[in-house]
Structure 1
Amino acid sequence: MPVKSKVQQRLMGSDFELIVVADNEAASRQRLYEGVAEIQRIEQLLTAFNDTSQTALLNKQAGTQPVTVDAEVYALISRCIRLSALTQGAFDITAGALKALYNFRQGSFTMPDAATLSQTLKRVGYRHIALQPGNRVFLQRKGMRIGFGAVGKGYAADRVKALWTAAGITSGVINASGDLCAWGRQPDGTPWKVGIADPDHADRVLFWLPVENAAVATSGNYEQYFERNGVRYSHNIDPVSGQPVPYIKSVTVVSPSAELSDALATAVTVMGKDAGLYLVAQLPQVHCLIIDGQNRVFQSKHINIHAKA
C-alpha cells in the first residue's frame, strides 16, 4: 500500500507542509528532501531580503541599467506582466514601493500624505518593466522595486509538483500556509481538502473545499488590516490608486496552477466582488469564493464547496 509522508518547515517566510504519497518510506523521504531543497533554491533566487538575489540586483539597478537574470526568473517576470495586463494592473509585482508607505502591524495607522503617495506612484507600474533579449530585465524608473510576495510561494509549489511528477509521484500536496497545490488522492482514496477560514476567527473553518489536481490560494485581511469609520482596510494595496483595499475580507481562488491562484487571489481582492467575479468567469478552470466586509459569501459558478464545518 502507498505510504503517505510529510515534512513541515519554515520556508519563504511561511509555514510549508509537504506531503508525498509514494511506494515506500525511503522514496517518500527522498522526494520530501528534494522538495524542500527546491523551495530553498527558489527562495534564494527571489527573496528581497538577500543582497545577492536576482530580485535585489534588479531593484538596485532600477533606472540605471538592465540586469541579466536566469531564464526562469525572466519567464516568471514575463508571466507576471501578462497577469498585470489581464487584471488591468490589480496584480503588479512593482507595488512594493507602495506597501512601504503603510504599517499594518502597529496599533496606530496613518495614511501617507497626497504628495508622498503621488511621488511613490510614479515608481510603480508593470509597464515600466522592460524585457530585453538575452534574459535582460530593466526597471526603467529609479526607485522602482519588484517583489514576488504575491506569486512566489505559488511558483515554488508548482515547481515542486513538477519535480515530483517527473519522478513518478502520482499523489501529493505542497501547502504554504493554506495556499496549496494537490494532485491525486490520499492513500485511502479520499480527495485532499483545504479549509477556508472564517475571516473573523482564523482558527475556524467555514467551508471545506475538496482539491484534486488543482491549486488553491487565499488572500485575506484577517491578519494585517486596520479599521476606520467602520470599514476594514486590507493590507493589499491597489497598485493603481495606491490605497489599501476596503470591503473584501477574504478571496479564495482555485485554478490549475498555484502561481496563477496566488496572483489571482490578490488581483480579485483589489478588483472587488463584481469585477473579480466577472474576470474569473472568463478564465477556463478558474473558480473563486469571496467573503465581503459584511461576511456575505459570493462564489463563481461550478466551484465545489462542501458543507460548513
Structure 2
Amino acid sequence: MMVAPLTEHRKQARLMGSAFEFVTVTEASDPEDHIGTAIAEVRRMEALLTEFSDTSQTAQLNRAAGIHAVEVDPEVYAILHRSREIARLTQGAFDITAGVLKKLYDFRNKPATLPSRAAIDAALQRVGWDKIVLTAPGQVYLSMPGMHVGFGAIGKGYAADKVKNVLQQKGIRSGVINASGDLTAWGTRPDGTPWKVGIADPNAPDRVIAWIPVHQASVATSGNYEQYFELNGVRYSHNIDPKTGLPVQGIKSATVVSPSAELSDALATAITVMGPSVGVHFINQLPNTHCLIIDDQNRLHTSRHLSITLNSAT
C-alpha cells in the first residue's frame, strides 16, 4: 500500500500584537490547509480578550472594577478560573492582575527611572488574583476599584491551544502553532522527524544555543532580553513580581514544556519571578512538565528528564 506524500504549509500573520506562524501538514492531494480558519479563530479570541478595545470583555471587566459584577462568555469565565488556579498553584508568582504594576514602568524611554516606593505600594493595593471574584456561573467581579486584568502572560498560549483544537477537528493530523514563541505542536514533520524548538541565546537572540524536540507538547519562553531597562549597571526585566511590585532579576530566559501552551505560557512567567532554584524545584513537582532556565550569569538550569540538544556551535 502506497503512502500518500505529505506537504508542509506555512503562513505568518500579525495577530494579538505579535507574530504568529501557522504550519499544517496535509496530503499533497489535499489543497485545503485550513490556515485561514486558524487565523479567523485567533482574531475571534483577540476581539474577546484584548485590553485595547473598549468593546472587549476584558475592557468591560476593568471598567466595572469595584462597581459591579460583569456577565462574561463561558470561554472568558473559564480562562479567568484557570488563571486563578495557576496563580494559587504558583503562590502568586503568576497573576493576571499585575498590569497596574507594569504601568508604573517605561521600558522604552531613556534615561530610565524607577517609580517611587509610595507609587508601588499604592498599585499593590489593586493587585491580587484572590481579588477576582467569580460571583456566579458566568459572572465576574473585580473587587477593588482601579483593578486591571490582562491576559498578556497567558492569552497567546491559550490561542495556540484553541487553534490546534480547531485544526485537529478539521482533520489536520500534524502541525505547529507558534504564537511569538508560545508554541504547540502535534504529529510529525512530513519526513516523520519530530518538530524541534530552538532556544535563543539571550545575549545574541538570533543564535540558537539548544534544541528541544516537541512531540504532542507545548513550549513557551519568557525572557528579559527583548524588553528591559538598565539603571546604575543593573538590568531590570519587563516581568514584574506581583508580590513586591519590582522587576525580577536573576533570569535572562525561562522556557517551559508542558502538555498545554496556555500552561507553558503562564508557568514561564511564574518561574521567571520565582528564580532559578525555586523555579526548577517547582517544575519538578509537576507531571509531564519541564523547564530550561538561563540565569543572569549565562548558566543553564534544567528540570529532571528534559531532553535537549546543545548547539555544537555554542
Query: Structure 2 length as normaliser, TM-score?
Result: 0.96
Q: Which moved more, 1:113-122 or 1:145-154?
A: 113-122
Deviation string, structure 1 residues 156-177 (Cα, Å, up to 9, x no partner)? 0000111111222210000012
Deviation at 1:134, TM superposition (A): 3.1
For 1:207, the equivalent position in structure 2 comes to 210
Deviation at 1:59, TM superposition (A): 0.2
For 1:8, the equivalent position in structure 2 comes to 12
For 2:114, the equivalent position in structure 1 comes to 111
Could you tell me which of 62, 65, 68 is aligned with 1:65?
Answer: 68
Could you tell me which of 294, 299, 303 is aligned with 2:297?
Answer: 294
Corresponding residue SS for 2:235:
strand
Deviation string, structure 1 residues 37-64 (Cα, Å, up to 9, x no partner)? 0000000100000000000000000000
Matches within 5 A, 1:249-268: 249-268=252-271
Give me the whole-angstrom Cα distance separating, in 2, the residues matched to 1:51 and 1:287.
38
For 2:27, the equivalent position in structure 1 comes to 23
Give me the whole-angstrom Cα distance separating, in 2, the residues matched to 1:255 and 1:231.
32
1:282 aligns with 2:282: no
Give me the whole-angstrom Cα distance separating, in 1, the residues matched to 2:31 and 2:37.
11
Deviation at 1:9, TM superposition (A): 0.4
Give me the whole-angstrom Cα distance separating, in 2, the residues matched to 1:293 and 1:25.
50
Q: Which moved more, 1:141-150 or 1:107-116?
A: 107-116
Query: Structure 1 length as normaliser, TM-score?
Result: 0.97
Aligned 8 A contact 2:25 2:172 in 1: yes
Give me the whole-angstrom Cα distance separating, in 2, the residues matched to 1:170 and 1:138.
40
Corresponding residue SS for 1:158:
helix
Corresponding residue SS for 1:146:
coil
1:174 aligns with 2:177: yes
Q: Which runs of 5+ in 1 are unaligned?
A: none
% identical aligned pairs:
58
Corresponding residue SS for 1:48:
coil
Deviation at 1:208, TM superposition (A): 1.1
Deviation at 1:27, TM superposition (A): 4.7
1:233 aligns with 2:242: no
Deviation at 1:237, TM superposition (A): 0.2
Q: Which residue identity does 1:244 align to in structure 2?
A: P
Q: Which residue identity does 1:154 align to in structure 2?
A: G
Give me the whole-angstrom Cα distance separating, in 2, the residues matched to 1:163 and 1:25.
21
Aligned 8 A contact 1:232 1:247 in 2: no
Corresponding residue SS for 2:238:
strand
Query: How has the CA–CA distance of structure 1 residues 24 and 232 changed in structure 2, closer, same or farther, with 3 Å as cutoff?
Result: same
Corresponding residue SS for 2:239:
strand
Aligned 8 A contact 2:112 2:230 in 1: no
Aligned 8 A contact 2:250 2:276 in 1: no
Deviation at 1:132, TM superposition (A): 1.8
For 1:248, the equivalent position in structure 2 comes to 251
Deviation at 1:109, TM superposition (A): 1.3
Give me the whole-angstrom Cα distance separating, in 2, the residues matched to 1:206 and 1:25.
38
Give me the whole-angstrom Cα distance separating, in 2, the residues matched to 1:15 and 1:24.
27
Query: How has the CA–CA distance of structure 1 residues 25 and 202 changed in structure 2, closer, same or farther, with 3 Å as cutoff?
Result: farther
Corresponding residue SS for 1:302:
coil
Corresponding residue SS for 1:263:
helix
Corresponding residue SS for 2:101:
helix
Q: Which residue identity does 2:163 align to in structure 1?
A: V
Q: Which runs of 5+ in 2 are unaligned?
A: none
Matches within 5 A, 1:35-74: 35-74=38-77
Aligned 8 A contact 1:231 1:247 in 2: no
Q: Which moved more, 1:75-84 or 1:125-134?
A: 125-134
1:90 aligns with 2:93: yes
Aligned 8 A contact 1:61 1:139 in 2: yes
Give me the whole-angstrom Cα distance separating, in 2, the residues matched to 1:26 and 1:189.
19
